[in-house]
Amino acid sequence: MTQQVPMLINGEMVISRTTQWLAVTDPATQNEIASLPCATQAEVEQAVAAAKAAFVSWKETPVSERARLMLRYQALLKEHHDELATILSKETGKTFEDAKGDVWRGIEVVEHACNIASLSMGETVENVARKVDCYSYSQPLGVCVGITPFNFPAMIPLWMFPMAIACGNTFVLKPSEQDPLTPMRLAELFQDAGAPAGLLQVIHGTKEVVDQLLVHPDIEAISFVGSVAVAEHIYKTGTAHMKRVQAFAGAKNHMVVMPDAQKQQVINNLVGASVGAAGQRCMAISVAVFVGESRQWVGELTEALAKVRPGAWDDKAAGYGPLINPQAKQRVVQLITEGIDAGAECVLDGRDCQVAGFPEGNWVGPTLFTKVTRDMSIYTEEIFGPVLLILEVDTLEEAIALINDNPYGNGTSIFTASGAAARKYQHEIKVGQVGINVPVPVPLPFFSFTGWRKSFYGDQHAYGKQAVRFYSETKTVTARWFEDDIAAGPNMTITLK
C-alpha cells in the first residue's frame, strides 16, 4: 500500500475516516506515490472549530512572540531546504534546481513575516482637536483559509499562512490534491517550530471541501491561487457570503523585444522564461513581441529553444520536467493542434516528445509558433505549457496597445537599452508587474505580488504590506481625557489650572 497522506487538525496528524481517496502520482512515471483523502464534512467542521478556538488565545499573543515563532520556522525551513526540494521534485516532476527555487521563495516570505511588529504598526496624530488624539491599530480577523495550486506547492502556501498567522489569525490550508506531500512537510516543520495546537490546520479534498469553506460562517478571509474559472467562483461565492477574498487567476504574459536590446540576453532569458517549469507558471512568458528589426532574431531563438530537453527531476541536464498529469498534457497538445489548424506556423512542435526510460511521462517538448493572430485559441487562452508564441509589430506604441488590449494583467517585461522606452512602457502598460530587462518580474516579499485585471480578483494582494492589510482590520480610536478627572493619590497633590 502507498502511504496515506494525513491531515493536520488541532495540532495532530490524523488519518481521515473518509471513504473517498485520490491517487497522488509521479508525473514522470504515473506510479502512485501516496493516497490522499477527501475530508469529510465533519472533519472540515472540526478543523475550522479548532482554528476558531485557537484564535481566542493567539490573538492575545504579543507580537514579539509571533515574530519569534516565524524566526524559528524560517530557520527550520532553511535546515530542511534540500529535503523539501526533493519531496517537491518527486511529486511535481520539477527539476531539483527549480524545486529549490520554489522552496527558497517561500522562505523569503517567512523571513518577511518575522518583521510583523514593524509591518503592523498603526498611526497616531496628536491634537486632532483641542486635547483630542487619534490613533489606529491593526487587529487580526479570525480564521483565514488558503486554497493553493499544484505548480508551487511550497512557495504559495508560504505566501499565505505565515503572514496570516503572524498578523494574529489562525489558518486552514487546503493544498492542491495533486502534490500534497510538500505542504504537509511544511506543516510538520511549523509544528516543530513550536506553533500552538490549532494555529494551522491542513485538510484535503476537491471542490466539495472548498465549497464548504467558502460558505462557512466562521471563516473571515480566503486566499486563492489558480485558474480563471475557479478564481471567479471563489471570489463570487466567498464575497457573496461576506468573506474577504483575494483570488489570483490566469495570465498571458508578454515580453517586448526592442531592436536596441542585447540579442543574446534576449534569447537566453526568453528560453528560460517560456519553457522553464514546463511553462506551468502564472508568470511564464508565453508571448514574445518582437519590435521592428528585432524580428530577425527569431531564427536564433528557435535554435536555442530546440536545444532544451525535458527530463526527470534528478537529471541535471534537463531543462524542465513533465506536466503535472496526463490531462494537462492532453490540453496542451490539443491547443498546439488548434494553433496549427488555425494557420499559425509551428516551427518547433513538442507534441511527440519522448524521454528515455520514462515512456509514461507527461512530456511536451519546447514548442514555438510564428504567424500567430490574436483571434487564435493559442493566443486567447492560457496554455500553461512549454509553448511560446511570436508576434511582430513595427513600433513600441503598437506593442503597448496589443498588450493593453489583452484581458490579463499579471506580468510583462521589456528588453531594451533605452531608458526612455522603458519609462514609457512601465508608465503606460496596464499590467501589475513589470520587468525591465528582467523576464519574470516576481517581486521580493517586501513588495507585493500585484496582478491586475483578469489575473486578480480582490483589493489587497499577496505578501508585502498588502498582505498585512488583507489579514488585518484597522481600528481607529479617538480619545479625549478631561483633566478634572485626574485623581490625587494619597501622597500626591495636584493643582489643576
The one-letter code for the residue type at 318 is A
Residues catalogued as catalytic: 282
Instruction: Indicate the helix (H) or strand (E) that contains 147.
Output: strand 143-147
E strand residue ranges, 274-359: 285-291, 345-348
* Spatial separation of the C-alpha atoms in residues 379 and 402, rounded to whole Å: 12
The one-letter code for the residue type at 176 is S
* Spatial separation of the C-alpha atoms in residues 51 and 164, rounded to whole Å: 12
* Spatial separation of the C-alpha atoms in residues 221 and 88, rounded to whole Å: 27
Instruction: Indicate the helix (H) or strand (E) that contains 170.
Output: strand 170-174
In whole angstroms, how far apart are CA 495 and each of 104, 132, 352, 486, 487?
62, 21, 92, 10, 11
Q: Return the C-alpha cell found at 107.
A: 522562505
Give the torsion sign (CA, 191, 193, 197, 199). Answer: negative
Q: Return the C-alpha cell found at 484.
A: 478634572
DSSP per-residue letters across 99-116: HHHHHHHHHHHHHHHTTH
**Overall size of the chain counted in residues:** 497
